[in-house]
Chain A
Amino acid sequence: AQTVTQSQPEMSVQEAETVTLSCTYDTSESDYYLFWYKQPPSRQMILVIRQEAYKQQNATENRFSVNFQKAAKSFSLKISDSQLGDAAMYFCAYRGSGGSNYKLTFGKGTLLTVNP
């Protein structure tokens, strides 16, 4: 079974600074998808960024980027120019390559605090 590990229960960053959230995963599959989700206090899950394992280029969405290391099974999220609105719980998630396997496996989450 696939597992997702987020080793940082909590992180904090100063406004306008950069922070990196760690995520590692374990899988025997060669093709899969990885995601970072944000869950603010409203508890609505928001997709931040996704990465297809077959793509070597790291995904980027505005201030959010990932460092995807397939051999190391590592998928970290970098938030640049942190804003107060970035404060939330961040979950790393894994999904298999398809067929009937569209299930998401989530890590335990990292609570990010942004200090003004």
Chain B
Amino acid sequence: GAVVSQHPSWVICKSGTSVKIECRSLDFQATTMFWYRQFPKQSLMLMATSNEGSKATYEQGVEKDKFLINHASLTLSTLTVTSAHPEDSSFYICSAREIAGADNEQFFGPGTRLTVL
């Protein structure tokens, strides 16, 4: 149990286009989902916290108009990178916190590699 999926697993796009990444909790309901960004050989940096039915809370320095987050249901959150540029190329990871589970664990998706040409 407690499986989180991400789609797509990798994507290549042209500069100036928008890319949507989906994060789904497959076998549980997630009241909160988190979006992280990871550059090569670096740690995970939290971008935003997404609560179902409400606006996402962005970390300092993260452009909310650039990285649009929607958490429309208890099993799906989406991250849209708008007008992507090469510096947005990175590995994006989501995690989900289960409503009914122990409140101290998050389950991570497998990540999405974004390359902007």
Interface residues of A (CB under 8 A from B): 33, 42-47, 50, 52, 91, 95, 98, 102-109, 111
Contacts and interface: CB of A to CB of B under 8 A. Distances in A.
B97 to A, nearest CB: 6
Contacts of B32: 102
Given A104-B106, A106-B43, A108-B43, 10 more contacts: A45-B44, A45-B95, A50-B105, A91-B43, A103-B34, A103-B49, A106-B45, A108-B42, A109-B42, A111-B41
Interface of B: 32, 34, 38, 41-46, 49, 91, 93, 95, 97, 103-106, 108, 110-111
A102 B110 contact: no
A46 B32 CA distance: 19
User: Which has the most chain A C-beta neighbours within 10 Å: B32, B46, B106?
Assistant: B106
A91 B32 CA distance: 22
The interface residues of chain A, by DSSP majority, are classed as: strand
Given A102-B32, A102-B97, A104-B34, A45 B108 contact: yes
B110 A42 contact: yes
User: Which has the most chain A C-beta neighbours within 10 Å: B34, B43, B45, B106?
Assistant: B43
A88 to B, nearest CB: 13
Contact of A43 (B34, B49, B97, B111): B111
Contacts, number: 47
A46 B110 CA distance: 10
B105 A47 contact: yes
Contact of B104 (A43, A52, A103, A111): A52
Given A43-B91, A109-B43, A95 B104 contact: yes
Nearest to B110: A44
A30 to B, nearest CB: 16
A44 B111 contact: yes
A33 B104 contact: yes
A111 B43 CA distance: 11
A77 to B, nearest CB: 16
7 closest cross-chain pairs (CB), A and B: A45-B108, A33-B104, A106-B43, A108-B43, A106-B44, A44-B110, A43-B111
